[in-house]
């Protein structure tokens, strides 16, 4: 397992541990426990066994030929993280961290969630290991993702709606951090993305790095060469970091992260800190951040709740500054079009988050601006988004008929 270069927990100047003093001993404890776990063959064996038998790994790398024709670029491969148990990549991390929490003797788990995918994946891991689970979710997301709320409750988790601030993922994260500060002695915080104070960005990346390791091996098997473009959507950036990590040393492979530009860059209604933010401190680490001139965090917007976050993982900030990765953006409308197109082409309904990556590849392909072979991380399935998108299209899928 690699650790960040240079100062502990830093990616270039980014990352760090900007947290209240109360959490420092817990972060030290977590850092040590994780280092021990990674060196313990029995821990790794249990994680690998669960990844295979419970999560369903390895996920397929599927060549999307009809999508290729529509996009005018090929070959294009989809790394099918939507086929994981619970329908997204999130479970790779929650199973790993729940194992770690059990090893540390922490019986209580907390998590934040935006769209509910990480909350469901956390509740699932907690059910599996018989742990108490509390999930913080912004009131606005509770309302737009009611199906996932019920799913978490079925799995035995308590969902606590967060009514402060913008009532979305950012505020759910604040509330989870407040819970952790208060109950740190018996509680582990399973953070859902490559964000937060060190060692979280490293731990989440390491548990997600299986995505890129598999994809790299799989594409070498079928193509006999590496992809020239690897693409993933970026909110906090966990599926992207998981996909990119195995390719970082492959200098000829372009790494392309797709942020959500919402109503458009510059509109004040976007979620693209790498495209239009500047470095700042939120939720314990230094990274690109949407903020006003006074350093107040700006509200984010995206049609995809999982991308609706004003910050981003610190390693992405470093990949941007170093030039190793490129970050582009796609808005709500293009993401919705991609969400509607892929089912008819490939029989796959992608998550709205993932649809941002698909939309960018399709646009870049038509313009001849992306080099094949292309590997896209299909981070999650879109069942959770069907009602939301159908309502926006004027069709109420919840009622079954068009108005």
Partner 1 sequence: MPPGRIGARFEKLAREGRRGFIPYVTTGFPSLGDTREMVAGLAELGADVIELGIPFSDPMADGPTIQRSSQEALDNGTTVDDMFEVLRDLRRASDVPVVIFSYLNPVYSRGVDAFIREAVEAGADGILPTDLPLGADSELESRILESPLDLVRLVAPTTTPKRIREIALSSQGFVYYVARTGVTGAREELRSALAQEVSAVRSVSPLPVAVGFGVSTPGHARAVGAAADAAVVGSALVNRLAEGGVAAALALAGDLRRALDEAGR
Whether 90 sits among the annotated catalytic residues: the reply is yes
- Taking the C-alpha atoms of residue 358 and residue 355, their distance in angstroms, rounded to an integer, is 5
**At 122, which helix (H) or strand (E)?**
helix 117-129
- Candidates 11, 12, 14, 17; binder of partner 1 (CB under 8 A) is 17
The residues pairing with 281 across neighbouring beta strands, listed in sequence order, are 286
Whether 170 sits among the annotated catalytic residues: the reply is no
Nearer to partner 1, 100 or 184 (CB): 184
Question: Is residue 22 involved in binding partner 1 (CB under 8 A)?
Answer: yes
Question: Is residue 170 involved in binding partner 1 (CB under 8 A)?
Answer: yes
CB atoms within 10 A of CB 48: 12
Question: Is residue 127 involved in binding partner 1 (CB under 8 A)?
Answer: no
Question: Is residue 291 involved in binding partner 1 (CB under 8 A)?
Answer: yes
**At 233, which helix (H) or strand (E)?**
strand 229-233
Tokens of 14: 């980014």
Question: Is residue 107 involved in binding partner 1 (CB under 8 A)?
Answer: no
Q: Phi and psi at residue 140, in whole multiples of 5°?
A: -65, -40
- Candidates 2, 69, 146, 182; binder of partner 1 (CB under 8 A) is 182
- Taking the C-alpha atoms of residue 161 and residue 149, their distance in angstroms, rounded to an integer, is 10
Question: Is residue 181 involved in binding partner 1 (CB under 8 A)?
Answer: yes
Q: What is the dihedral of CA 333, 169, 275, 254, to 10 degrees?
A: -90
Tally the C-alpha atoms within 13 A of residue 19's C-alpha that lie toward its C-beta.
26
Question: Is residue 245 involved in binding partner 1 (CB under 8 A)?
Answer: no
Question: Is residue 283 involved in binding partner 1 (CB under 8 A)?
Answer: yes
- Candidates 6, 266, 268, 295; binder of partner 1 (CB under 8 A) is 295
- Candidates 14, 19, 204, 237; binder of partner 1 (CB under 8 A) is 19
Size of the site for partner 1 (CB under 8 A): 37
Q: Work out the angle between the directed axes of helices 314-322 and 200-208 (0-180°, nearest 10).
A: 80
Which range of residues in 33-41, 284-292, 312-320, 358-366 is near partner 1 by CB under 8 A? 284-292
What does the radius of gyration of the chain's CA atoms come to, in whole angstroms?
19
CB atoms within 10 A of CB 385: 29
Which range of residues in 48-56, 121-129, 167-175, 210-218 is near partner 1 by CB under 8 A? 167-175
Question: Is residue 178 involved in binding partner 1 (CB under 8 A)?
Answer: yes
Question: Is residue 26 involved in binding partner 1 (CB under 8 A)?
Answer: yes
- Candidates 137, 152, 184, 375; binder of partner 1 (CB under 8 A) is 184
Question: Is residue 268 involved in binding partner 1 (CB under 8 A)?
Answer: no
Strand order in the sheet with 374-378: 61-63, 76-80, 374-378, 229-233, 254-262, 325-331
Nearer to partner 1, 165 or 372 (CB): 165
Question: Is residue 227 involved in binding partner 1 (CB under 8 A)?
Answer: no
One DSSP character per residue, 76-103 reads EEEEEGGGSGGGBTHHHHHHHHHHHHHH
Question: Is residue 293 involved in binding partner 1 (CB under 8 A)?
Answer: yes
Q: What are the catalytic residues?
A: 90, 112, 379
Give the footprint of partner 1 on this chain (CB under 8 A).
Answer: 16-26, 164-165, 170-171, 174, 177-178, 181-185, 279-284, 286, 289, 291, 293-297
């Amino acid at each position: 397992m690699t650790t960040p270069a240079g100062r502990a927990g830093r990616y270039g100047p980014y990352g760090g541990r900007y947290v209240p003093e109360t959490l420092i001993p817990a972060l030290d404890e977590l850092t040590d426990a994780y280092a021990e776990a990674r060196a313990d063959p029995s821990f790794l064996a249990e994680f690998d066994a669960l990844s295979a038998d419970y999560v369903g790994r390895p996920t397929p790398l599927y060549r999307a030929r009809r999508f290729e024709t529509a996009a005018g670029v090929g070959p294009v491969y989809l790394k099918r993280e939507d086929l994981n148990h619970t329908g997204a990549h999130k479970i790779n991390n929650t199973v790993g961290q729940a194992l770690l929490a059990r090893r540390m003797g922490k019986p209580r788990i907390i998590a934040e969630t935006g769209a509910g995918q990480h909350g469901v994946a956390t509740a699932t891991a907690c059910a599996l290991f018989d742990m108490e689970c509390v999930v913080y979710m912004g009131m606005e997301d509770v309302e737009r993702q009611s199906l996932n709320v019920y799913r978490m409750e079925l799995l035995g988790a308590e969902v606590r709606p967060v009514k402060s601030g913008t009532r979305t993922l950012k505020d759910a994260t604040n509330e989870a951090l407040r819970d952790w500060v208060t109950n740190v002695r018996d509680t582990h915080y399973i953070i859902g993305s490559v964000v937060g104070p060190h060692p979280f960005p490293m731990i989440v990346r390491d548990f997600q790095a299986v995505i890129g390791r598999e994809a790299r091996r799989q594409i070498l098997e079928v193509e006999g060469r590496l992809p020239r473009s690897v693409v993933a959507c970026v909110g906090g950036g966990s599926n992207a970091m998981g996909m990119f990590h195995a390719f970082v040393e492959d200098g000829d492979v372009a790494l392309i992260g797709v942020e959500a530009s919402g109503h458009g860059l510059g509109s004040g209604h976007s979620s693209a800190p790498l495209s239009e933010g500047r470095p700042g401190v939120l939720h314990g680490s230094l990274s690109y951040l949407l903020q006003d001139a006074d350093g107040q965090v700006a509200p984010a917007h995206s049609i995809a709740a999982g991308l609706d976050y004003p910050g981003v993982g610190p390693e992405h900030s470093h990949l941007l500054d170093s030039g190793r990765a490129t970050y582009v953006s796609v808005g709500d409308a293009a993401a919705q079009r991609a969400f509607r197109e892929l089912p008819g082409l490939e029989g796959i309904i992608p998550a709205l988050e993932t649809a941002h990556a698909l939309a960018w590849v399709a646009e870049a392909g038509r313009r001849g601006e992306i080099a094949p072979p292309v590997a896209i991380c299909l981070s999650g399935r879109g069942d959770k988004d069907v009602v939301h998108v159908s309502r926006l299209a004027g069709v109420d899928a919840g009622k079954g008929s068009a108005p």
